[in-house]
Amino acid sequence: MNNKNNLTQANEPLLSVNTSEDEIDLRELFTVIWKGKFVIIIVTALFAVAAVIYAINQPNIYKSEALLAPAEQEGAGGLASLAGQFGGLASLAGVNLGGGSNKTQLAIEVLKSRQFTSAFIQKHNILPDLMAAESWSMQANTVVYDDELFNSENNEWIREVKAPFKPQPSMQEAYKVFNKALSANTDKETGMVTLSIQHVSPYVAQQWVKWLVEDINQTMKEREVAEAKRSTEFLQRQLKQTEIADIREVLYKLIEEQTKTIMFAKVRDEYVFKTIDAALVPEEKFKPQRALIVILGVILGGMLSVMAVLIKYFTNKK
């Protein structure tokens, strides 16, 4: 017992010394910060001013979006029943007997593809609005272009770039920019698709969403019709080459389904996506969040200035 008491008494002074040293270090830390308060205030103020200038110079970005539902495919029941019985033969003929969910996901991937994006940009001639738009004039409802990139009066690209790039942006460059502006998300629970575009002009954003919905429906329709026609031609050739009654019956049914696909595609505009909530011209900006930019600038300036003061003090102390 005496030994334990002695050990306890011996440790108590050490604990008190460590505690006092911690208090001294903490007090010293606050003293250093207080002495450098003017430096901290000046640096923080400079960061705040820079953040305000940066936030003010950022153009407003508007976001227009549409809510889409996968279009139900008429004749899906017949296709499903045929898939169970003649799936192997159908696959040999290139006949697609799959479900609508796969078609919806395929349409989204096509929408995001380089080929579709390039065709979309060229078809609607949106390259200047995509690559050279600087801001939007609310009074005139016109896009203001960066005069160092594009001369709107002469409709001429004047940007200075190094090889292999050219004054007029390539489709590869345009695809990267467009891919950042485009968003297509699928709700896992409902299957609904939200398609959105961000742009400096709310009217341009709304127009692009509208065009995208129309073009992806048309593109998927043309792909389905072309595939169905090729499958029908193959099936008809096979029909001429066989005399077996059972196989001929199967081929007739497959041809019938492909004929239905072509017929439904021709009479339906919203082939893959049905518009539930059409894109509107947004009245409020989506970004930037200028207040948040300024707050983050002030915090960053304060942290860096405090660190600079402390580093200078301890460096000189050593």
Taking the chain (318 residues) in consecutive chunks of 10 residues, what is each chunk's mean pLDDT?
A: 49 48 66 88 94 93 95 51 47 48 85 95 96 92 93 92 91 96 92 95 96 95 88 84 81 83 80 93 92 95 91 80
DSSP 59: P
To 10 degrees, what angle do helices 245-267 and 202-241 make?
A: 160
Note whether 300 and 308 are within 8 A (CB).
Answer: no
Q: Which residue has the tokens 């709107």?
A: 152
Query: Which structure tokens are listed for 240?
Result: 């001429």
Domain coordinates of the chain in residue numbers? 2-58+290-317, 62-277
Report yes or no: 133 and 143 within 8 Å, Cβ to Cβ.
yes
DSSP annotation of 287 reads B
CB atoms within 10 A of CB 301: 22
Q: Please state, in angstroms and rounded to a whole number, the distance separating the CA atoms of residues 7 and 29.
A: 33
Give pTM, 2 decimals.
0.76
For residue 108, the model assigns a pLDDT of 93
pLDDT in tens, 217-243: 999 998 888 888 888 888 888 888 888
Could you report the per-residue pLDDT of 169-183, keeping only the tens digit for each? 999 999 999 999 999
- Show the tokens assigned to 203: 């009217």
- C-alpha–C-alpha distance, residues 239 and 86, integer Å: 15
Structure confidence at residue 310 (pLDDT) = 87
Token digits of residue 209:
């969403």
Enter the tokens of residue 213: 């919905």
